[in-house]
Amino acid sequence: MRKAIITLISAVAFGVTGQAMAAGGVEIPKRDWSFQGIFGSYDRASAQRGFQVYQEVCAGCHSLNYIYYRNLMELGYSEAAVKAFAAESEVEDGPNDEGEMFMRPAVPSDRLVKPFPNAQAARASNGGALPPDLTLMVEARIGGPNYLYSLLTGYTDPPADVEVMEGMNYNAYFAGHQIAMAAPLSEDAVEYADGTKATVAQMAEDITVFLAWASEPNMEERKGMGMKVMLFLIVFCGLLIAVKRRVWADVH
Amino acid sequence: MSTDPQWKNPVIRWVDDRLPIFTYMDHEYQQFPMPRNLNYFWNFGALASIVLVVMVVTGIMLAMQYTPHVDHAFESLERIRRDVNYGWLLQYIHMNGASMFFIVVYIHMFRGLYYGSYKAPRELLWMLGVVILLLMMATAFMGYVLPWGQMSYWGATVITNLFSAIPIVGDWVVTLLWGGFSVDNATLNRFFSLHYLMPFVLFAVVGLHVVALHVSKSNNPDGIEMQGPQDSVPFHPYFTAKDSVGIGVFLLFFAFFVFYAPNFFGEPDNYIEANPLQTPAHIVPEWYFLPFYAILRSVTFDVLFIPAKLMGVLLMFGSIMILFILPWLDTAKVRSARYRPIYKFVFWVFLIDCLVLGYCGAKPAEGWYLVLGQVATLYYFLHFLIVMPILGKIETPLPVPTSISQAVTGSGGGGAAGATAAKMEKS
């Protein structure tokens, strides 16, 4: 029903139906996600696995600039676990009483430590390409989670007539098909703490769930409140219609 | 019908003798006569004022958290969404509220076009409405720049650059708009300031719009004036009740987008921070500007001595300016399309033309889309400049009812309707 409404409205609203098409014009396959639908919520186990993939695979190059360590508690980690995890990284603080900057272990109120101090350093280490921040990646791409999943599982050998440039990699779903990032996921790239088999598809799904959470951590609160608001408004509308009919009864 | 009320409460009487606000409210919102045959399309004016209030209230609260600086604006929006209590709610209401505002106002305008609400004696009422539309557009455009995403930045660049098409002073105007030599911090700051200012100007013009409405009274689906109490019902309780139904249903529609599809009207690109060194593949404005964007881009050739770019800009602004003279372009004596068989058809063609323009505005200006956009642009102006003046002369209207009560009851406005009117006056 909701999809039907959205499709209808989008058709009216000047044909924005091309949402599922990547910039390169490639059709992105749709998948079902736990966080879709009006009752959708983030699959915590999957998101935790995704966080593990982020730490062990993505975090070498990609920042999560708008996420604080404290936010990780929303994924079901205990406060102690988050503190311990934060303490593994060091952040610059200061100036202290002597006016010196100093390094200290991170605490939950710090942002996730960035892999590179600035964009120039990031480019220098990545052959001139800038690994984008991942916090909003799911919202910032047409196709959202489906696009991200497709991209991560879309590394294939290039067709015979395509010549891939030096330092680039062929990807079926990336706009223009040539992406600077080498295929990040390979079989058993991580060893999941919960024993799940780390296939490329599994890791792509988990990291997508994690990044979907990162892009909109209060999605569950939004949908929960939405349900209450909609139910209230439906009842309220019923009352208003009844009042209106009563008031107008002597005119009609 | 409008008799001066006798205020029993001494405090109210004391105030009212010195500043008659209670009498004013009683006249304008209680006893105020409304045509009894209004349909639900007459809800949209009230809806627009509700959205305006919602936008001002959420906007003021967002401004308490927002940082108008190129280095912090994008991040401050993320902080609002993530760390401010109910910040995500405020932001989604404000973001979607802009789209709701335009949906409501566009329906309100097409209502006016269909029922001839712009015709004498309501020309000024209509023209004030066009001023409101222009202010809304300017406010919405500047508001869209504030998140400082990719579309904010590049949209601002494209639109401000339009002014460079003005002969002689163009470049000077653009520099003035930017506060520098490109869209930068100064631009963001002045846009924030103006985005906060303009809704209050809008409020004032809405006030004038309402005053003008209360002088000429509402038009109605039959397009004939009220002639007496048998044609009208008092605003309260009849239209307070009817507008409330509209507001309730509208809030359901609004809430659906806020809670279940908050980014439906947005562009994914605006979740990428502005980058002056990287142009997005397709720069598209918000959906409510798409028809005008299509008109802007439809001129691909120089017209006589006017360069294509300037001509596009002139046509785009002209497409709104032409609404100011619509009351005089339409030569028909009969107001409502209900009694104008050919105009009724022409109206729908024009509506479809506007949707086609919007569709073309969303697509790249090339090939088939460009041609379609050019045809639709041509028709847009033909509708106003050729069809409306000529149609009024050649069309034979259907017989118009002599009074609203006759249209409602099918009788001559005698017995039954008179009895109801009498009963209403009692209540």
The question of whether B242 is a catalytic residue gets the answer yes
- Whether residues A244 and B271 touch (CB distance < 8 A) is answered with no
Q: What is the pLDDT of residue B415?
A: 41
Q: Which of A132, A227, A251 sits opposite B420 (nearest CB)?
A: A251
| Residues of chain A contacting residue B420, judged by C-beta atoms under 8 Å apart | 250-251
Q: What is the pLDDT of residue A25?
A: 65
- Confirm or reject CATH 3.30.9.10 for domain A41-67+111-217, answering yes or no: no
What is residue B411's DSSP assignment?
S
Residue B54: what residue type?
V
How many angstroms separate the CA of residue A128 from the nearest CA in chain B?
15
Q: What is the pLDDT of residue A24?
A: 53
Chain segment B41-81, per-residue pLDDT in tens: 999 999 999 999 999 999 999 999 999 999 999 999 999 99
What is residue A131's DSSP assignment?
P
| Residues of chain B contacting residue A230, judged by C-beta atoms under 8 Å apart | 252, 255-256, 259
Average pLDDT estimate for A115-144: 94
Distance CA B96, CA B2 (A): 40
The question of whether B353 is a catalytic residue gets the answer no
| Residues of chain B contacting residue A175, judged by C-beta atoms under 8 Å apart | 281
Distance CA A127, CA A167 (A): 7
How many angstroms separate the CA of residue A188 from the nearest CA in chain B?
32
- The whole-angstrom distance between residue A194's C-alpha and the CA centroid of its chain comes to 22
How many angstroms separate the CA of residue A23 from the nearest CA in chain B?
8
| Residues of chain B contacting residue A237, judged by C-beta atoms under 8 Å apart | 245, 248-249, 252
* A80 Cβ contact list (under 8 Å, min separation 6): none
The answer to whether B352 contacts chain A (CB < 8 Å) is no
Kindly write down the DSSP assignment for every residue of A82-98, as one continuous string.
HHHHHHTSEEEE---TT
- Whether residues B290 and A15 touch (CB distance < 8 A) is answered with no
Distance CA A132, CA B352 (A): 42
Are B286 and B98 spatial neighbours (Cβ–Cβ below 8 Å)? yes
Average pLDDT estimate for B113-138: 97
- pLDDT cut 70: percent of chain A above it: 90
Match 């700051």 to its residue by tokens. B189
How many angstroms separate the CA of residue A168 from the nearest CA in chain B?
19
Residue A190 has pLDDT above 50, yes or no: yes
Q: Which residue of the set B117, B218, B232, B298 is catalytic?
A: B218
Q: Is the peptide bond before B389 cis (omega within 30 degrees of 0)?
A: no
The two structure tokens encoding residue B416 = 């039954």
Distance CA B155, CA B43 (A): 33
Q: What is the pLDDT of residue B405?
A: 87
Considering just the CA atoms, what is the radius of gyration of chain A in Å?
23
Average pLDDT estimate for B101-127: 97
Question: Best residue in B76, B232, B244, B283 to probe A by mutation, most A CBs within 10 Å?
Answer: B244
Average pLDDT estimate for B311-337: 96
The answer to whether A39 contacts chain B (CB < 8 Å) is no
Average pLDDT estimate for A101-116: 95
Chain segment B349-408, per-residue pLDDT in tens: 999 999 999 999 999 988 899 999 999 999 999 999 999 999 999 999 999 999 998 888
Q: What is the pLDDT of residue B100?
A: 98
Distance CA B286, CA B99 (A): 9
Q: What is the pLDDT of residue B398?
A: 95
| Residues of chain A contacting residue B281, judged by C-beta atoms under 8 Å apart | 23, 175
Chain segment B405-423, per-residue pLDDT in tens: 888 876 544 444 444 444 4
Distance CA B186, CA B68 (A): 10
Q: What is the value of pTM for the model shown?
A: 0.91
The question of whether B403 is a catalytic residue gets the answer no
Mean pLDDT score of chain A: 89
Q: Identify the closest residue of chain B to A20 by CA–CA distance.
A: B268
- Whether residues B244 and A225 touch (CB distance < 8 A) is answered with no
- Whether residues A218 and B287 touch (CB distance < 8 A) is answered with no
Q: Where are the domains of chain A?
A: 41-67+111-217, 225-252
The question of whether B152 is a catalytic residue gets the answer no
Distance CA B19, CA B216 (A): 24
